[in-house]
Amino acid sequence: HVQLVESGGGSVQAGGSLILSCAASGYTDNDRCMAWFRQAKGGEREAVAAIYIPNGSTGYAGSVQGRFKLSQDYTQSTVYLQMRSLKLEDTGMYFCAARPDLCDGTWGRTSSFQTWGQGTQVTVS
């Protein structure tokens, strides 16, 4: 079965940086959209960024544009979210998600993703 495993969360001071990883396994091909969502305590899950694995095209939420960057290790089926200039409002549980589809205009919707990781906590203070 397919599985997503996130890692790399932690505590960091405002202005600092972190790199999150999402390792995918169980897939028979790489034709999928992978995205990061985050959820602050008591808040709703919101989209952060997405990458279409076959060509590496990316999309970002306005709140992280210019500060976060997605990359991938195609051979390792791992996606990385490089976060810099972190702000207090970046605090939350970060989830990796995947769907066997393009990253079209629906990538911001949690309901459009079938597979989710367990999440990794990011705390900015």
The model's pLDDT over 24-76, given as tens digits with 9 standing for 90+, comes to 999 988 899 999 999 999 999 999 999 999 999 999 999 999 999 999 998 88
C-alpha 38: how far from chain center: 8
pLDDT for residue 48: 98
pLDDT of residue 110: 92
CA pair distance 6, 97, nearest whole angstrom: 10
Give the integer Cα–Cα distance in Å for 7 and 96.
10
Burial class, 38, CB count within 10 angstroms (exposed 0-12 / middle 13-18 / buried 19+)? buried
